[in-house]
């Protein structure tokens, strides 16, 4: 009983010390519409330096998408194509750099990475060079609003995709989440 009382009395004191020790909230959990997860993804983003919200970091997520699989049979006289729509899961992973002032909520992200797809699909099937694949590349150019002390966060910007056929496609993304 005495141990429970000591622990419960010291807990609020420890929590107030941790809030004052200068730790910066730099881990972000967010949901993103569009972008590297293709349709929608849940992501984790963090800085490599734990005392800062700016600088080098990474992102890792899990999402899903919907694409078209096209198969061609080429004969001497003609070509036959078959297509079917497929849903798939995506795993976006990338490195990024956050530009901004320390202890300032507004910043700009520049990054690059790859998204692994669980099925061979052609994301942009209106392209002339259709090559279904399991990996796409991406870049990120995002405005970020991340409070220093944590809480609600959002981000929006451009996320060009390097499609399965190697073509570059413009794409955008918006994300909402929580920083801690």
Share of the chain above pLDDT 70, in %: 75
What is the mean predicted confidence (pLDDT) over 80-93?
Answer: 83
pLDDT digits (tens, 9 = 90+) for 115-155: 998 887 776 655 555 566 789 999 999 999 988 888 999 99
Average pLDDT, rounded, for the chain: 81
Task: Please give the CATH number for the structural domain made up of 2-179.
Answer: 2.40.160.20
| Number of C-beta neighbours around residue 150 at 10 A | 17
Separation CA 98–CA 88 (nearest Å): 30
In the numeric block, which tokens belong to residue 169? Answer: 């496609």
- pLDDT, tens digit (0-9, with 9 covering 90-100), for 16-28: 333 445 577 889 9
**Would you say 95 and 114 are in contact if contact means Cβ atoms under 8 Å apart?**
no
**Stated pTM of the model:** 0.76
Q: Which has more pLDDT, 141 or 52? A: 141
């Amino acid at each position: 009983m005495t141990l429970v009382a000591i622990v419960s009395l010291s807990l609020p004191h420890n929590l107030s010390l941790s809030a004052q020790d200068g730790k910066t909230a730099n881990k972000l959990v967010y949901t993103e519409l569009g972008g590297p997860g293709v349709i929608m993804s849940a992501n984790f983003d963090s800085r490599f330096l734990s005392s800062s919200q700016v600088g080098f970091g990474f992102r890792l997520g899990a999402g899903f998408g919907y694409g078209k699989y096209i198969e061609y049979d080429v004969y001497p006289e003609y070509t036959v194509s078959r297509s079917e729509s497929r849903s798939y899961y995506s795993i976006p992973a990338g490195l990024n750099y956050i530009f901004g002032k320390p202890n300032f909520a507004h910043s700009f992200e520049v990054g690059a990475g790859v998204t692994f797809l669980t099925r061979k699909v052609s994301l942009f099937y209106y392209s002339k060079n259709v090559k279904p694949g399991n990996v796409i590349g991406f870049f990120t150019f995002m405005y970020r609003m991340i409070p220093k002390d944590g809480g609600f966060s959002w981000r929006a910007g451009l996320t060009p995709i390097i499609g399965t056929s190697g073509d570059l496609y413009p794409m955008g993304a918006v994300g909402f989440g929580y920083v801690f």
